[in-house]
Amino acid sequence: MAKAISISNLMSKKYKLYDFDGEWYQAFGNPETCGVWFVWGNSGNGKTSFTLQLVKYLARYSKVAYISLEESSAHTMQASFIRHGMAEVAKRVMLVEREEVSEISERLKRKKSPDIIVIDSLQYSELNWSEYKRLKESNPKKLIIFVSHAEGKTPEGRIAKKVMFDATLKIWVEGYKAFSKGRYIGPNGGYFTVWKEGAQKYWGTN
């Protein structure tokens, strides 16, 4: 039988939240520092740029492991890291090449392992639903961010759709803007501009 919690206990419960500021707060408010976030979008819309900007920003709070399953350490990834000034957070962000799900789980068990892990992409991880639940439930104090391909405006594949629905923060990237579709929406209505000029061209705004 599931544990019951009283209304008074719920109202008095304390949560560890990110103290986001500026445009990050405007878009996403103050999300919880653990759980699952989900980023998805079609190629050429700024998904990688947004993810790296997010990683760079989160590095001010905790160490981040970026699991690069798709591009690994290819020249394209190097160029993206240079373009977004990732050298500034070199001591807080590690790039991990093509780890299996079991290896990711073992990494998270290590002493002083990163509190934030980014898996790029969910499709390349070949994660199944049972493995996803096990990864999430065995790391209740960690933040796990999945990056996903899209089919139209929905995540690509059945598992990706299920993970997206389960995530607390769902971020859709289109036309160089990132839109919060989850439970955390900031004062501006939940959008973050990834690249101003590209967004203006795509959306036809000034």
Per residue in 109-160, pLDDT (tens digit) is 888 899 999 999 999 999 999 999 999 999 999 999 999 999 999 999 999 9
pLDDT greater than 60 at residue 206:
no
> Which domain, by its residues, includes 162?
22-203
User: In this structure, is residue 83 part of a structural domain?
Assistant: yes
Cis peptide before 105 (omega within 30 of 0): no
Is 122 a domain residue? yes
Mean pLDDT value across residues 94-106: 88
Residue 163 lies in a domain: yes
Confidence (pLDDT) at 182 = 83
User: Is the residue at 3 inside a domain?
Assistant: no
Q: What is the pLDDT of residue 100?
A: 85
Q: What is the pTM of this model?
A: 0.93
Residue 27 lies in a domain: yes
The CA distances from residue 4 to 16, 133, 137, in Å, are: 22, 22, 19
DSSP 183-199: S---TTSSEEES-HHHH
**pLDDT averaged over every residue in the chain:** 93
The number of domains in the chain is 1
Supply the CATH number for residue 101's domain. 3.40.50.300
- Neighbouring CB atoms inside 10 A of 175's CB total 20
